[in-house]
Structure 1
């Protein structure tokens, strides 16, 4: 099983993308910008492509070269440079957490908000422990029972972002109603408990929950699910796309905007929050019969 890379590369990619954007806006090429910093060789190119490291105290002078002195921008990028080598709690599970998954957890832990369209499975931040074990075992069918149990622990630990004392994560999830009709033969109570969990978590002030009804109008979610992570200050959002092989990331500003627009259309096609909770409560009641 591969170990997690010691540096969460998604943080370095976000930093490199931001620095490249400010350089381009300043109309400077790599050689001119590097020379202005007194750097020798392709250091700046490596930084922008996430193959090299930039120290936090190099951020301010580099941004000054680009004519960027906005304190909010400087603080945000200095913080990202500082955190680029930070080890997260998930490093404890490096034997089972793949590098792309570790990248996603670091994104989630840095984010201010998560917007998710979930057509196939309930988002991990909203799952019960039993639902997590069942779905992980089904999807990660090459994993041992011990690895499945460890991954379920990771999924539960991730949920702490919803109750962070300083800045709880704002989550907006649109779940397709078909997901709630799934049955678990080995443990029939799993979905009933999961429905109850959704009703409970929907009462949290920073959680918005909607169902996409079975009889919905056509919408962009027909192309598949996605998660859109939003960050404080000037940092660009990042989209995550998942499949059996892991996760891929959409990080370009224009590309991410397509998903943000798609999410607005998905929200418009979904049930209201009140109707969503009524539908889930009805399903939870029927599951007791």
Structure 2
């Protein structure tokens, strides 16, 4: 029987794109790069386009051939090659997850740190189960109750990255104060519980929360929310933009303005200490 085609997973796409960039930086053609490995150019092209597998040992040799001496770069790419075909827990929910959302969970799982500017909602990694259900239901125009429940489960399961052993994800969330004034008619205590959840999360050493006050002066964040995802080694940063039509990803050099923008957004927000005090104040004034 013929071999099954290789699935171009998000990890394979990131690996291929990074290997292509390193090859170009080294000034090598596909033929020249393939010759380093004793391959033909079509095989190298398939690797770079996520249509072929590559062993971690071959990644190490290829990166060395490109003149890269940083061990962290090689290790990050070898790990991508090793994990490229692994199935994640989120694939259990493939019936309700849009492909772009599944890709993002994979990125989130591999990331070192994420900076989020959230002008409308509490970020998913910090949401309570009740808040997740209410907001998913409110923003979903075609989802069934069972699908809403499943998506809320996914949102809760994602939060495991904040407590994973050894290398918990570093999260820096900047939340607009307006998002914390959301009210829920069916379950009024939802926001009060959510505010308490933010205070609990802020005690984690890898979680930083800032609040953008209602009276803040203009800053780059007025153009819309985004998530800046940063990876180990040479892997390029990725920015996630979301709206009603779905998700858009921006990466590499195109992500640089967002990295600069998030610094200016942080500077416009309340300090961490004042942000926590504002959350406490809001929680005390929220009806149960």
Q: TM-score range by the shorter chain?
A: over 0.9
1:117-175 CA-partner distances (Å, limit 9, x unpaired)? 00111100000000000111122221110010001001001111111121111110000
Superposed counterparts of 1:1-289, under 5 Å? 9-252=9-252, 254-288=253-287
Contact 1:8–1:85 (CA<8 Å) still a contact in 2? no
Displacement, 1:70?
Answer: 3.2
Contact 1:213–1:271 (CA<8 Å) still a contact in 2? yes
1:173-221 CA-partner distances (Å, limit 9, x unpaired)? 0001111111111111111111111111111111110011111111111
SS at match of 1:42: helix
What residue ranges of structure 1 are gaps of 5+ in the alignment?
Answer: 1-5
SS at match of 1:39: coil
Displacement, 1:41?
Answer: 4.8
Question: For residues 140 and 288 of structure 1, do their structure 2 counterparts lie closer, same or farther at Cα, with a shift above 3 Å needed?
Answer: closer
Q: How many residues align?
A: 283
1:252-277 CA-partner distances (Å, limit 9, x unpaired)? 2x212211100000000001111111
Question: For residues 96 and 8 of structure 1, do their structure 2 counterparts lie closer, same or farther at Cα, with a shift above 3 Å needed?
Answer: farther
Contact 1:126–1:201 (CA<8 Å) still a contact in 2? yes
User: What is the root-mean-square deviation of aligned Cα atoms in Å?
Assistant: 1.7
Displacement, 1:92?
Answer: 1.3
SS at match of 1:198: helix
| Greater alpha carbon shift after TM alignment, 100-109 vs 239-248 | 239-248
SS at match of 2:143: coil
Give me the whole-angstrom Cα distance separating, in 1, the residues matched to 2:257 and 2:161: 26
Q: Which residue of 2 aligns with 1:3?
A: none
SS at match of 1:267: helix
SS at match of 1:67: coil
Structure 1 runs of 4+ aligned residues shifted over 4 Å read none
State the TM-score, normalizing by the size of structure 1: 0.93
SS at match of 1:217: coil
Give me the whole-angstrom Cα distance separating, in 2, the residues matched to 1:234 and 1:23: 13
Give me the whole-angstrom Cα distance separating, in 2, the residues matched to 1:219 and 1:107: 27
1:57-115 CA-partner distances (Å, limit 9, x unpaired)? 32122223312243222221111111111111111111111211111111111111110
